[in-house]
Amino acid sequence: MIEIETERLVLRRFRIRDAAPMAAYRNDPDIARYQAWPSPLTPEAATDQARVYSEQDPEQPGWFQYAIELKADRSMVGDLGVNLHANRLQADLGYTLAPGLHGQGYATEAVRAVLDHLFRWGLHRVSAECDARNTPSARLLERVGFDLEGRRPEFTLNINTGEWTDTLLYGLLASRWQKPAVGPQEH
Ligand SMILES: CC(C)(COP(=O)(O)OP(=O)(O)OC[C@H]1O[C@@H](n2cnc3c(N)ncnc32)[C@H](O)[C@@H]1OP(=O)(O)O)[C@@H](O)C(=O)NCCC(=O)NCCS
């Protein structure tokens, strides 16, 4: 299952032409602040990255990166990564949304839809980490039901700034997942 449709979004496989919008938001300093991406992301590197994403398999262990597309105008506005563990019963989650679209619930909508898909598929647990200063990300995780499970002091080295940063650890068990009232449609 590759494509997930929600009320306002389509989450789909990456295409090479997603490289330009992806580079635009990943090169925004506000978006990159708490991320470990090499910065700046050149057009060539973005194309290579989009190609790698476009060839990933969501049913195999490892990362699968969904492109997030707005239904309203079909623009590519973010990405959401799922790292399936070798046991196919656990996964890690990461996400990014283009800056002009924050504060409208789009990332929450995307994360909820992917969680719903993963738990229906049979996953036991999903984990996520974020920089302890990344309040929007922590709020998103708590909004969709993740539990804060710990804080690792100076656990992550930011390759762009050289800072050691505290990392928040979040987890969500299948037994605690609250299904959305209207489920996403899968294709
Ligand atoms: C993390 C990130 C995706 C969160 O973006 P966001 O816009 O805060 O999240 P959402 O799109 O879900 O929007 C939620 C906000 O919209 C509001 N909102 C408005 N309409 C909403 C709706 N229909 N449903 C849910 N929330 C809605 C919420 O109240 C919330 O605002 P608040 O946090 O001030 O309470 C964004 O900050 C980002 O891309 N950051 C850069 C990359 C990054 O750090 N990723 C995380 C790595 S761990």
Helix axes 43-54, 19-26, angle to 10 degrees: 120
Digit-by-digit pLDDT tens for the chain (187 residues) are 689 999 999 999 999 999 999 999 999 999 999 988 888 999 999 999 999 999 999 999 999 999 999 999 999 999 999 999 999 999 999 999 999 999 999 999 999 999 999 999 999 999 999 999 999 999 999 999 999 999 999 999 988 889 999 999 999 999 999 765 555 666 6
Q: Using CA atoms, how far apart are residues 103 and 101, in angstroms rounded to an integer?
A: 7
Q: Residue 109 C-alpha to ligand 1 middle, in angstroms?
A: 9
> In which element (H, E) is residue 136 found?
helix 135-143
For tokens 């563990």, the residue is: 85
Ordered by where they begin, the domains of the chain are 4-186 (3.40.630.30)
Burial 20-34 (b: 16+ CB within 10 A, else e): ebbbebbeeeebbeb
Burial class (CB in 10 A: 0-12, 13-18, 19+), 180: middle
% helix, strand, coil for the chain, step of 5 = 30, 35, 35
* Nearest atom, ligand 1, residue 34 CA: 44
**Ligand 1 in contact with 6 (CB < 6 A)?**
no
**Ligand 1 in contact with 104 (CB < 6 A)?**
yes
